[in-house]
Amino acid sequence: MIMIPFAPPRIDQAIIDEVVAALKSGWITTGPRTKEFEKRLTAYCGNKSTLCLNSATAGLEIMLRWFGVGEGDEVILPAYTYSATANVVVHCGARPVLVDIGSDFNMNVANIKAAVTSKTKVIMPVDFAGLPCDYDAVLSVVNDPAVKNIFVPATKEQSKLGRILILSDAAHSVGANYKNKKTGALTDVSVFSFHAVKNLTTAEGGAIALNLPEPFDNDEVYKFLCVYTLHGQNKDALAKMQKGNWKYDIIEAGYKCNMTDLCAAIGLVELARYDSDMLVKRKLICDTYFNYFKQFDWAELPVLKDASRETSYHLFPLRIKGITESMRDEIMKRIFDKDVSVNVHFIPLPMLSYYKNMGFNISDYPVAYDTFAREITLPVFYDLTDEQLKMVCN
Ligand SMILES: *Cc1c(COP(=O)(O)O)cnc(C)c1O
C-alpha cells in the first residue's frame, strides 16, 4: 500500500509548460509574468493593488516595517497560528501579544479588545484553515472611540491611518468569502502565502494585497513597496535593462524579497483555474469528510460555510470530543500505521521553546490548548482520488 500523502502540490503539464516558457523567454527574475500575476490577483480578489514577494513571511514583515512597528510597540495575534505570524513581530523589535481563539479556530474578538493598550500598533488576524475572521467585528474594535483615543501615532503612516492597522495573515484563505467579498478586499492589508503546501502555489511565494482606506493611495504604496523590497533601488532589473537606462539610485536601505518570473509562471496557471477547478475539488473533499464524519457523536466538525463566510477549503481540521493530547497522538499513530498522512495545525505558540522562554504560558490559552490537544488535520489536495478519500474516512 502506498502512503497517502498530506498535501502534495499539483504539478501537471500545464504548469511545466508555463515554467519552461518562462525559462525560454530570457527573463527569469521579476518581470512581465510577476506583474501580470499581480494584476490578475488584484482583479480576482477585488482589492486595490497587489505586490508579489518570495513568501508570506516577507510580506507580513515588510508591512509591519512600512507601518513603522518597532521597539516599544505591541502587535496582537492569535496564540494558535504558525510561528511566522509571531516571528516577524519579533524581527521588528516589537512585542507579540498573544490572545486565545474561539471555537472556529480564529481569534476571539472580545479577547482582542481586552488586549489593546496604548502601545498596540497592529492586529494580525489569521484566517485559520481558510475561514475568514469576522472582519467587521475586528474593524469595530479599531474604530471604537475609546480604542482610537489611546492610539499614539509615531510615524507618518500611523498618523495617516489614525488607528490600529489590521494586517491579515491570509496565508490559508485565498479565494475565501466574507459577506460577498473575497479575502484581500476584506481589510486594510492581507498577506497570502503561495508556499508549496498552500491552496495556490508558486513553489515559494506570497503576496501583499493592499486595500488601505482613504486618504492612502494604494498605487503609491505599491510603488514604494516595489522599491523597498528590492534593495531600495529606484529601478528594477527590467527597467535597468532598457537601452541606456543603467543609472540607479538607492533611496532606502531596502530588503530583497521579490518574486521571480519562474514562480509567477506557476502562479498564473494556478490562478487561471483556481475557482473552476482547484476550489471545486477541495470543496468536494472537505464536503465528503464533513458528510461522512457528521454521523459520529465523537466528531467535532469545522465550519466550512455559515451565514456570512465560506472557507477556501485549505485544511480540514477535525476535532475529537473528550480526548486528551496523548490519546490524540495515539490515534494519529494508528492512522499513520494505515498509511494515511495526517497533521496537527498548529502547536500553539506558548508551547514552543522560544515563546515559552519569552514568558508565555499555555495555561493562559485554554481554548488553544484544548483545540490543539483534540485536533487532527486530514489530507486535502487536488490529486486525492475517490479511493484514497474512502480510505482516509475509514
Ligand atoms: C504558511 C503560513 C505562513 C507563512 O507562509 P510563507 O509563504 O511560507 O512565508 C504564515 N502564516 C500561516 C498561518 C501559514 O500557514
Element housing 98 (H / E) = strand 95-99
From ligand 1's centre to the CA of 56, what distance in Å?
6
pLDDT one digit per residue (tens) for the chain, 394 residues? 689 999 999 999 999 999 999 999 999 999 999 999 999 999 999 999 999 999 999 999 999 999 999 999 999 999 999 999 999 999 999 999 999 999 999 999 999 999 999 999 999 999 999 999 999 999 999 999 999 999 999 999 999 999 999 999 999 999 999 999 999 999 999 999 999 999 999 999 999 999 999 999 999 999 999 999 999 998 888 888 888 888 999 999 999 999 999 999 999 999 999 999 999 999 999 999 999 999 999 999 999 999 999 999 999 999 999 999 999 999 999 999 999 999 999 999 999 999 999 999 999 999 999 999 999 999 999 999 999 999 999 9
Q: Which of 34, 206, 188 is nearest to 124 (CA)?
A: 188
| Ligand 1 atom having least distance to the Cα of 126 | 13
Tell me the CA–centroid distance for residue 298 and ligand 1, in Å.
30
Atom of ligand 1 nearest to the CA of 193: 7
* Alpha helix segments (H runs only) across the chain: 13-24, 32-45, 56-66, 84-91, 109-115, 135-143, 145-150, 156-161, 218-228, 237-241, 261-272, 279-293, 325-337, 353-357, 366-373, 386-393
Do 254 and 26 form a contact (C-beta atoms < 8 A)? no
Interval between CA 326 and ligand 1 midpoint (Å): 27
- For the CA of 197, the closest atom of ligand 1 is 1
**Cα–ligand 1 centroid distance for 154 (angstroms):** 29
> Which is the closest atom of ligand 1 to the Cα of 172?
15
Q: Cell 502547536: give the residue.
A: 347
For 322, residues 6+ apart whose C-beta sits below 8 A from its C-beta are 298
Dihedrals φ, ψ of 95, to 5°? -105, 120
Residue 84 alpha carbon, nearest atom of ligand 1? 10
Q: Is 289 within 8 Å of 316 (Cβ atoms)?
A: yes
Query: Residue 88 corresponds to which cell in the numbers above?
Result: 516577524
Separation of 258 CA from ligand 1 center, angstroms?
16
Residue 1 has a pLDDT of: 67
Identify the CA nearest to 303 among candidates 22, 104, 153. Answer: 104
Determine if the peptide bond prior to 346 is cis (ω within 30°): yes
Q: What is the whole-number distance in angstroms between the Cα of residue 26 and the centre of ligand 1? A: 31
How far is it, in rounded angstroms, from Cα 190 to Cα 47?
A: 9
Picking from 187, 166, 185, 162, the residue whose alpha carbon sits closest to that of residue 175 is 185
Distance 84 CA to ligand 1 centre (A): 6
Indicate the length of the chain as a whole number.
394
Grid coordinates standing for 287?
464536503
Q: How far is the CA of 83 from the centre of ligand 1 (A)?
A: 8
φ, ψ of residue 107 in degrees (nearest 5): -55, 135
Residue indicated by cell numbers 507579540 = 96
Q: Which of 169, 229, 345 to mutate to test the pocket of ligand 1 (most atoms within 8 A of CB)?
A: 169
Per-position b or e across 62-91, b if 16+ CB within 10 A of its CB: bbbebbbbeeebbbbbbbbbbebbbbbbbe
- Residues flanking ligand 1, CB < 6 Å: 55-57, 81-82, 84-85, 126, 169, 171-172, 193, 195, 206
How far apart, in whole angstroms, are the C-alpha atoms of residue 283 and residue 199?
12
Nearest CA, atom 5, ligand 1? 56
DSSP, collapsed to helix, strand or coil, labels residue 171 as coil
Pairing state between β 120-123 and 74-78: parallel
- Residue 128 Cα: closest atom of ligand 1: 13
In ligand 1, the atom with minimum distance to the C-alpha of 169 is: 11
Assigned C-alpha cell, 378:
486530514
Cα(65) to ligand 1 centroid in Å equals 18
Mutating to test ligand 1, I would choose from 61, 62, 81, 82 the residue with most ligand atoms within 8 A of its C-beta, which is 82
